[in-house]
Homo-oligomer: A and B are copies of this chain.
Amino acid sequence: MFLARVTGSIVSTQKVESMKGHKLLIVEPYRLDTDSRERLLTTGRTFIAVDTLGAGEGDLVLVCQGSSARLTPETKTLPIDAVITGIIDSVHVEKKSVYCRKDGD
């Protein structure tokens, strides 16, 4: 899995029937800043993931990829390869806090 920031959303009217009614969010994978090792940085990549948890713009989330994206009750039969499986409260690296949801960072 990887950590990602929710940055936006997409609208698609013409889509595979089973995809109707599912929320699709834009997520930007994040990685540890390997210089300071004290904060998370964007990787600059853009992915689309299904959300079933009510994640909102700005949230840091956990994203599961591949066939396992279908292992949630809501996504079992969907043609999807990425799903949000958690909204992150905090991230600690080497005993230091590198992300806390209340920080808004």
Chain A residues within 8 Å of B, Cβ to Cβ: 1-3, 7-19, 24, 26, 28, 30-32, 34, 40, 42, 44-49, 52-54, 57, 62, 64-73, 75, 77-83, 85-95, 98
Find chain B residues with CB under 8 A from A47 CB. Answer: 1-2
State the copy count for this chain: 5
Q: Please determine whether A91 and B10 come into contact, CB atoms closer than 8 angstroms.
A: yes
Q: Please determine whether B49 and A19 come into contact, CB atoms closer than 8 angstroms.
A: no
Q: Please determine whether A44 and B34 come into contact, CB atoms closer than 8 angstroms.
A: yes
Chain B's nearest CB lies how many Å from the CB of A77?
Answer: 6
Q: Please determine whether B65 and A71 come into contact, CB atoms closer than 8 angstroms.
A: no
Q: Please determine whether B85 and A79 come into contact, CB atoms closer than 8 angstroms.
A: yes
Find chain B residues with CB under 8 A from A7 CB. Answer: 32, 93-94
